């Protein structure tokens, strides 16, 4: 492991380095809190552990730890274990260190076996924590990803759209939304079975992704419904862009078990207006979509 030592007393620093290297770790030294903070700030991911003396010149270990914890306060998964060193076993000093962001506390003079045990215990905590973070990320991905197409699901799409609506309102930017619905999708399921319908949904998603403009966001928001967020796009430009998305679907046949299938989509487009929410925009695009269905399907309709 890569361990960064912050210790202003040379003899303590050399002894600590000797112990750590004997345990097989790679060691880097700094001599005050300011050097510690700057070193971590410039290479946060370089370090597996920080071992920090409490009382150091320029910036104390306590101050440095608070600054280091503040670097990634909004990203709790970015965490480096910090072990404090001090000649004091005073309860108040230990409490201050823990409050500053320490994970453990060692009283000088350091005992080799105690240090080794502390590092071993901390390494187990790190391993368990990393496993938990990984599991949480996978769960988050599952909760925001459509299982069939791997596109963002409705929840994730609405979250992205909400952010774009906020930007459009704050910076007076254009924004459009479209809803695409596969025409006569029930007929595909009835004639070929639901497995065929699933394959068509996957192929539609792939084709839309391949034709996706830079900056646009696509999601699957319903059974055979997809939605598009088109930032920085005025109504007329959105209509043209979405009609090209429609042509991407209808321009070439799809295939199931080697047989060609003609698949088309109807598209409804709505542009952002001040005061509307992301849900309002989707409803407006849905309304335009129904007009496209009534107009004969396989067409794009823009909501004024």
Instruction: Give pLDDT tens digits for 168-226.
Output: 999 999 999 999 999 999 999 999 999 999 999 999 999 999 999 999 999 999 999 99
Calculate the alpha carbon distances from 165 to 204, 213, 287 in Å: 26, 19, 19
- Per-residue pLDDT tens digits for 119-177: 888 888 888 888 888 888 788 777 889 999 999 999 999 999 999 999 999 999 999 99
* Per-residue pLDDT, 26: 93
* Per-residue pLDDT, 139: 80
Give the C-alpha separation, 48 to 50, whole Å: 7
Share of the chain above pLDDT 70, in %: 99
Local structure of 261: helix, strand or coil: strand
Give the C-alpha separation, 248 to 265, whole Å: 10
* Per-residue pLDDT, 6: 94
* Per-residue pLDDT, 201: 97
User: Token match 């069939």: residue?
Assistant: 148
Among 3.30.70.270, 3.40.630.30, 3.40.50.970, 3.50.50.100, what is the CATH number of 154-303? 3.30.70.270
Burial class from Cβ neighbours inside 10 Å (0-12, 13-18, 19+) for residue 76 reads exposed
Rounded (10°) angle between helices 112-144 and 10-22 = 70
Active site residue 224: yes
Q: Where in the chain is the domain with CATH 3.30.70.270?
A: 154-303
Q: Where in the chain is the domain with CATH 3.40.50.2300?
A: 2-143
> Encoding tokens for residue 213?
């403009």
> Encoding tokens for residue 265?
């989509």
Residue 277: pLDDT over 90:
yes
How many contiguous H segments (helices) and E segments (strands) does the chain have?
10, 12
**Cis peptide, bond prior to residue 152, ω within 30 of zero:** no
* Per-residue pLDDT, 249: 95
First to last CA, the chain: 61
Give the C-alpha separation, 247 to 242, whole Å: 9
* Given 224, 225, 234, 302, the catalytic residue: 224
- According to DSSP, the residues that pair with 302 across neighbouring strands are 269
Give the C-alpha separation, 107 to 73, whole Å: 28
What CATH superfamily is the domain 2-143? Response regulator (3.40.50.2300)
């Amino acid at each position: 492991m890569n361990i960064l030592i912050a210790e202003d007393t040379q003899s303590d620093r050399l002894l600590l380095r000797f112990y750590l290297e004997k345990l097989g770790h790679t060691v880097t030294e700094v001599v005050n809190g300011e050097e510690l903070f700057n070193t971590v700030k410039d290479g946060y991911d370089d370090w597996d552990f920080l071992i920090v003396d409490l009382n150091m010149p320029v910036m104390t270990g306590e101050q440095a730890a608070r600054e280091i914890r503040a670097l990634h306060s909004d990203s709790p998964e970015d965490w480096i274990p910090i072990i404090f060193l001090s000649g004091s076993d005073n309860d108040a000093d230990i409490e201050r260190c823990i409050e500053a962001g320490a994970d453990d506390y060692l009283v000088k003079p350091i005992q080799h076996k105690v240090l080794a045990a502390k590092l071993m215990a901390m390494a187990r905590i790190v391993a368990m924590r990393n496993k938990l973070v990984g599991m949480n990320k996978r769960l988050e991905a599952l909760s925001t990803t459509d299982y069939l197409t791997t596109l963002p699901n409705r929840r994730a799409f609405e979250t992205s759209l909400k952010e774009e609506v906020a930007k459009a309102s704050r910076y007076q930017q254009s924004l459009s939304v479209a809803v695409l619905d596969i025409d006569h999708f029930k007929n595909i399921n009835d004639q070929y079975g639901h497995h065929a319908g699933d394959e068509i949904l996957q192929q539609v998603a792939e084709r839309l992704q391949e034709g996706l403009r830079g900056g646009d966001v696509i999601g699957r928001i319903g059974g055979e419904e997809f939605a598009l967020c088109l930032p920085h796009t005025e109504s007329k430009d959105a209509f043209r862009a979405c009609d090209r998305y429609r042509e991407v679907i209808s321009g070439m046949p799809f295939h199931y078990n080697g047989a060609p299938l003609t698949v088309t989509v109807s598209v409804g487009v709505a542009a952002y207006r001040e005061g509307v929410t992301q849900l309002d925009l989707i409803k407006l695009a849905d309304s335009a979509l129904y007009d496209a269905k009534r107009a004969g399907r396989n067409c794009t309709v823009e909501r004024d």
